[in-house]
Structure 1
Amino acid sequence: MIVVSAATGALGRLVLDRLLERCPADRLVAAVRDPDKAADLAARGIGVRPGDYDDPAGLRAAFAGADRLLLISSPELDPVRRVAQHLNAVDAARDAGVGVLAYTSFLDADTRADGVTAAHHATERALRESGLPHVLLRHPFYSEAFLHPGLRDAVATGELADGTGGRALNTASRADLAEAAARVLTEDHHTGNAYDFTGDPWTYDEPARELTRASGVTVGLRPRRAGGALGWLEAQVEAGHLERGTDDLARVLGRRPTSLRQAVTALLG
């Protein structure tokens, strides 16, 4: 049996979609905070169990009988509470006798214990100390944070705002990361590995070219930092923090990750 935690989130649903292509629905369980939000999953034949990261006893019941568990990291922003939630899940998985736990960590969580990686660093350490067989799926930032339907505005104006200073991004799409997780959960040679997932690195001049190609409208770059969360991400890019690239995602997928051209074409299409 394969259990997916946080299964009603965007990533969890994509993972279950890919798992349904690889195994029967009666082998799958969605562990969710609110089972009422998983009625569509139950309608597809997937088992649904309550699984709140703040409820250790409920997590033990949700994970019972799992040969494989995908622990999707909590969306909680407070790192102290997030670590506590993850430790609840790791302890519950150990107590429930889970066979192999796959955890969606973050790039550089093995070497950095601050900022974005703080909770992931602590969770990786807890997994090592737990004795549980596990796989680490270290994610980059999602491509969707930068490549989104709002890019259609760049076609309308002929300008694509770029606050990255021309530096490269090592993002990956949720769909590719979900497929990789599904493969790890259904294949036998991943246990004990730590994967640093990235797509093919890209710079902002590439989406400008692809928008031009796909739309027939010339789109140029306009140096300008966005506000809010995107502005913070762009600052990380400009500082060179997102330039690392690996082939781990391609090796697990058995193909190249979704290309910039494919992503932009899908957005416009």
Structure 2
Amino acid sequence: MIVVSAASGALGRLVIERLLSRLPADAVAAAVRDPARCADLAARGVDVRHGDYDDPASLVTAFRGARRLLLISSPELAPERRTRQHLAAVDAAVTAGVRAVAYTSFLGADRGGDGPNAAHHATEQAIVGSGLAYTMLRHPFYSDAFINAGLRAAVEAGQLVSGTGGRGLNTASRADLAEAAANVLTDDAHLGHGYDFTGPVWTYPQLAATLGDVAGRTVEYHEAAEPIPGPMGFLMGLAGSGALERQTPDLARVLGRPPATLRQAVATALA
């Protein structure tokens, strides 16, 4: 049995779909806070279980019988609560007799626990110390956050604006990361490894050119005159500092093929 936690989220559902393409439905379980949100999966034969990161007892029950567990990180942003949730999940996995866990961590979590990576670093340390067999899946930011249907507005306006200074972003699509997770969950060769996943580096000037090429219209790139507010501004600031340009071959190796290209991501977003 393979159990996927937080399976009602966008990534979890994609992983479930990849698993169902290669395993019978009764070999897959979805651990979710609200089972009603996964009634469609239950109708297809997936074992949908109640498993709430804030209810450790429910996690023990949800993880029981798992040969493999995909521990998808909590969407909680407060580091202390997120760490508490993750450590409870690791303890539950041990109690439930899980044989191996794959954890969706974040790039750099193995190097220290500063800032946003505090919970990821603590979780990786807890998994290693638990005695469980493991695979660390360190994700970059999702391409989907940057390259999505909202880019149609840039095509219509004929211009794309960013605050990245033209620096690169090493994002990867949820779809590719989900496929990589499914590969790890179904192949013992990945046990004991920590993977640093990155997609091909792209820039906003390249994105503007690709938008124009795919849409058949001119899309000019402009650097923002003022700081861009909100979460996207924060992400663009990281990119502008060069923090998102790290590259590794790990995602391509686990996928057995190159990750999606910028053009493929744009074509999907505009379709």
TM-score w.r.t. structure 1 length? Answer: 0.98
State the one-letter code of the partner of 1:265. Answer: A
Q: More deviation in 65-74 or 145-154? A: 145-154
Q: Is the 8 A contact 1:22 1:186 kept in 2?
A: no
Q: How many residues align?
A: 269
- Once the two structures are TM-superposed, the CA of residue 82 in structure 1 deviates from its matched residue by 0.3
Tell me which residue corresponds to 1:59.
Answer: 59
CA distance in 2, matches of 1:252, 1:23: 19
How big is the shift at 1:226?
2.8
The answer to whether residue 35 in structure 2 is matched with residue 21 in structure 1 is no
For 2:215 and 2:174, the matched residues in 1 are separated by 25
* Alpha-carbon distance between aligned partners in 2 of 1:102 and 1:266, rounded to the nearest angstrom: 28
Map 1:84-95 to 2 at 5 A: 84-95=84-95
Q: Which runs of 4+ in 1 moved over 2 A?
A: none
Match runs of 1:129-208 below 5 Å? 129-208=129-208
Cα distance in 2 between the residues matched to 1:112 and 1:153: 39
Q: Which residue of 1 aligns with 2:257?
A: 255
1:216: which partner in 2? Answer: 216
Amino acid across the alignment from 1:57: A
Shift of 1:116: 1.5
Letter in 1 for 2:205: D
Question: Quick check: 1:246 aligned with 2:223?
Answer: no
How far 1:243 sits from its partner (Å)? 0.6
Q: Distance in 1 between matches of 2:53 and 2:184?
A: 23
1:112: which partner in 2? Answer: 112
How far, CA to CA, are the matches of 2:215 and 2:53 in structure 1?
45
2:35 counterpart residue number: 35
Q: Tell me the amino acid that sits aligned with residue 222 of structure 1.
A: H
Distance in structure 2 (CA, Å) of the matches to 1:215 and 1:131: 52
Gapped runs of 5+ residues in structure 1?
Answer: none
RMSD: 0.8
Structure 2 counterpart of 1:81: 81
Measure, in 2, the Cα distance between the counterparts of 1:31 and 1:231.
34
Distance 1:32 1:268 in 2: 31
> Alignment identity in percent?
63
CA distance in 2 between partners of 1:82 and 1:34 (Å): 19
Which amino acid in the other structure matches residue 111 of structure 1? R
Corresponding residue for residue 69 of structure 1: 69
Q: Which amino acid aligns with 1:144?
A: D
The C-alpha deviation readout for 1:89-109, integer Å capped at 9, x for no partner, is 000001111011000000000
Shift of 1:112: 2.5
**Cα distance per residue 1:184-215 (max 9 Å; x no partner):** 00112000000000101111111111111111
CA distance in 2, matches of 1:28, 1:266: 28
> What is the alpha-carbon distance in structure 2 between the residues aligned to residue 125 and residue 24 of structure 1?
33
TM-superposition CA deviations, 1:155-176 (whole Å, max 9, x none): 1111101210011101000000
Which stretch of structure 1 is more off in the superposition, 220-229 or 193-202?
A: 220-229
Equivalent-residue separation in structure 1 for 2:231 and 2:83 (angstroms): 22
TM-score (norm 2): 0.98
